[in-house]
Amino acid sequence: MKNIAPAIFSPNGIGDTKPTNQAVLDWVHEIGKLTKPENIFWCDGSERENEFLIAESLKQNVLIKLNEKKVPRSYLHRSNPNDVARVEKVTFICTPTKEEAGPTNNWSEPADTYSKLYGLLNGAMRGRTMFIVPYIMGPPDSPLTKVGFEITDSKYVVLSMRIMTRMGKIALKRLGNDPKAEWNRGVHSLLDVDPDRRFICHFPRDNTIISVGSGYGGNVLLSKKCFALRIGSYLARKQGWMAEHMLILGVESPDGRKHYVAAAFPSACGKTNFAMLIPPAHFDGWKVTTVGDDIAWMEIREGRLFAVNPENGYFGVVPGTSYKSNPNAMKSIGHDTLYTNVALTDYNDVWWEGKDGAPPKHAIDWRGNDWTPGSKEKAAHPNSRFATPMRNNLALDPHVEKGDGVPISAIIFGGRRSDTVPLVYEAFDWNHGVYLGATMASETTAAATGTVGKVRRDPMAMLPFCGYNIGDYFRHWMDIGKRLTNPPLVFNVNWFRKGENGKFLWPGFGENMRVLKWVIDRCEQTGGALKSPVGWLPSPHDLDLEELDIDHKSVADLLGIDHEEWQKELAEHKTFFDSLGGVVPEELQKQREQLVARFKE
């Protein structure tokens, strides 16, 4: 196997912070014996370590240093062109029975899978450095916080994990010396980045993840989709909490009343943008703050849901990010940021489609080829990403480090739907809300490899991330509801409905504040709504549309329920439930029948 990640040799005092927990040491020893690395590098998360790893990564062309004046302390990484997104078809849930993984997951038998993966890992780190990355997910003093270790032979992964998680000594401290303590085992090797030998496998019963053959994003930053969502959702059900693909934002009114909202949108459907929203001028005095942009861990206290963001940074979609669409993101990624697969200008600045200003006359595209505005290819890959620490975000919520989490007033589901689904509506109650989540659909995006733009059901935006049987997941949602005396209201939004001209009807981005304001009004029982078959629907005057350049017809189209389209939609709900082969809880089937009946009233 070609050595694409040659070993590095660190001076004394760097890479030698060994944990003391015997269970960790035994596991590292076992993986070391298998993968046969040249040496072992124990990460401590220090500044000195980071500088050393960056210097070595520059030498090996894993990173390109960006213009220090334009983007201080920032770097560009290019992944293998065959490796630019999550790959769902090689992502597996390895439970003893196929039934436990359920109808929506790829399943593979644990013993067979371990032996296949161990075969691939045998000698895989020869001539390479094996990095041990200790990290915690969640605020340091939260009862929800969990420890993980990722073994990897990729410097890019180590540098990214440092941004995306609270990494290093903090995790060793949290874990302590109890050999029976709960912690997640993650093993990652690039191998030779061959799509035919790329597998992302989860062993929920062993709290273990093994990922091979990729060097990109959600496939390899094992803290994120693999641990915080797939293994996380499995643990959450067992332990009575929730792990969800949700942003968390705070919204404060001019008179200082504050609510927190969690929202589940599928990959590349607007979570980061919504979490960093800046209200338009008309909403003078309103403030939106970010708790998290991708993942929420939630527990019940005093009959309410409280949420923490387990992450420490944002791994966000770059294309389309501009001062117009997301000024908070632009400022965040203007320094101390690790970019992946964007274009590089002749001034060593970064560029992407949708960035403010004119495109550069010449650039190097994400593949490393010459690019000009006349080129047919995109300069930045559509799924190019930034990894930026959350402390860069000027709109960071002051309670983001709060161990207790923030109380959630509303949950919003949303997808990318050109038709059928109105701009916003509210569920009648919790179980109806679960139905909205269970039946949501979205057009596929570049965040995962495969066809883009095809509508698929993506329950709670968790289709690729639920680590167990989706029927049991639905049941878990309803069980949580039974324990809530003060449940959040549940909403569905769609920023992506299109008019007859094929253009988005809704301006989106900052203007989504208008929808958020209605959500808050409903939470405070001041907002008006009409009863419709699908749920509580605002009439145009219930939304604050002042100073917004939008015509009456567009608003009517955005809020309209087209009965013909909905007959098709209802049939698709049935097809989806049927496709799950009997795991859908009775209550949700009943919800569907009631929905059908309401359309006949």
The binding track of 232-271 with respect to ligand SPV, each residue x by CB under 6 A or -, is: -----------------------------------x----
Which is nearer to ligand GTP, 39 or 418 (by Cβ)? 418
- Which residue number is nearest to ligand GTP in terms of Cβ? 508
3-class DSSP state for residue 535? Answer: coil
The residue from 43, 269, 466, 523 that is catalytic is 269
Residue (of 18, 20, 16) closest to 179 by Cα position: 20
Which part of the chain contacts ligand SPV (CB under 6 A), choosing from 216-224, 339-347, 363-371, 433-441? 216-224
Smallest separation (angstroms) from Mn ion to the CB of 247: 9
Residue (of 188, 158, 174, 145) closest to 46 by Cα position: 158
269 is catalytic: yes
CA distances from 10 to 33, 92, 188, 293, 354 (A): 21, 36, 21, 35, 41
Smallest separation (angstroms) from ligand GTP to the CB of 469: 23
Give yes or no for a contact between 159 and 54, defined as CB atoms under 8 angstroms apart: yes
Which part of the chain contacts ligand SPV (CB under 6 A), choosing from 98-106, 218-226, 278-286, 566-574? 218-226
Smallest separation (angstroms) from ligand GTP to the CB of 276: 8
Applying CB under 6 A, among 447, 537, 588, 595 the residue interacting with ligand GTP is: 447
Continuous H helices in 90-221: 98-101, 110-121, 155-164, 169-175, 217-220
Residue 504 contact partner, candidates Mn ion, ligand GTP, ligand SPV, none, CB within 5 to 8 A by sort of partner: ligand GTP
Applying CB under 6 A, among 78, 86, 146, 237 the residue interacting with ligand SPV is: 86
Buried b (16+ CB within 10 A) or exposed e, 521-543: bbbeeebebeebbbbbbbeeebb
Q: How far apart are CA 107 and CA 91, in angstroms?
A: 9
Contact between 508 and ligand GTP per CB under 6 A: yes
Strands (E) across 470-567 are located at: 489-493, 530-531, 536-537
The binding track of 35-74 with respect to ligand SPV, each residue x by CB under 6 A or -, is: ----------------------------------------
Residue 273 contact partner, candidates Mn ion, ligand SPV, ligand GTP, none, CB within 5 to 8 A by sort of partner: ligand GTP
Residue (of 45, 43, 58) closest to 10 by Cα position: 43
Applying CB under 6 A, among 21, 272, 341, 444 the residue interacting with ligand GTP is: 272
Contact between 447 and ligand SPV per CB under 6 A: yes
Which is nearer to ligand GTP, 147 or 329 (by Cβ)? 329
Contact between 315 and ligand SPV per CB under 6 A: yes
Backbone CA torsion sign across 149, 273, 389, 364: positive
Residue 225 contact partner, candidates ligand GTP, ligand SPV, Mn ion, none, CB within 5 to 8 A by sort of partner: ligand SPV
Strands (E) across 237-341 are located at: 242-244, 247-252, 258-264, 287-292, 296-301, 304-308, 313-317, 338-340
Strands (E) across 144-252 are located at: 146-152, 166-167, 183-189, 199-203, 208-212, 242-244, 247-252
- Of the chain, the end-to-end C-alpha distance in Å amounts to 66
Q: How far apart are CA 284 and CA 5, in angstroms?
A: 52
Residue 512 contact partner, candidates Mn ion, ligand GTP, ligand SPV, none, CB within 5 to 8 A by sort of partner: ligand GTP
Applying CB under 6 A, among 166, 198, 225, 522 the residue interacting with ligand SPV is: 225
Contact between 442 and ligand SPV per CB under 6 A: no
Applying CB under 6 A, among 56, 294, 311, 443 the residue interacting with ligand SPV is: 294
Continuous H helices in 78-205: 98-101, 110-121, 155-164, 169-175
The binding track of 285-324 with respect to ligand GTP, each residue x by CB under 6 A or -, is: --------xx---------------------xx-xx----
| Per-position DSSP letters for 414-453, written without gaps between them | E---SSSS-SEEE-SSHHHHHHHHHH-EEE--TTBSS-SS
Residue (of 309, 344, 317, 347) closest to 333 by Cα position: 317
Residue 272 contact partner, candidates ligand SPV, ligand GTP, Mn ion, none, CB within 5 to 8 A by sort of partner: ligand GTP
Which is nearer to ligand SPV, 144 or 446 (by Cβ)? 446
Q: Which residues are catalytic?
A: 269
- The residue ranges that bind ligand SPV (CB under 6 A) are 86, 217-218, 224-225, 267, 294, 315, 447
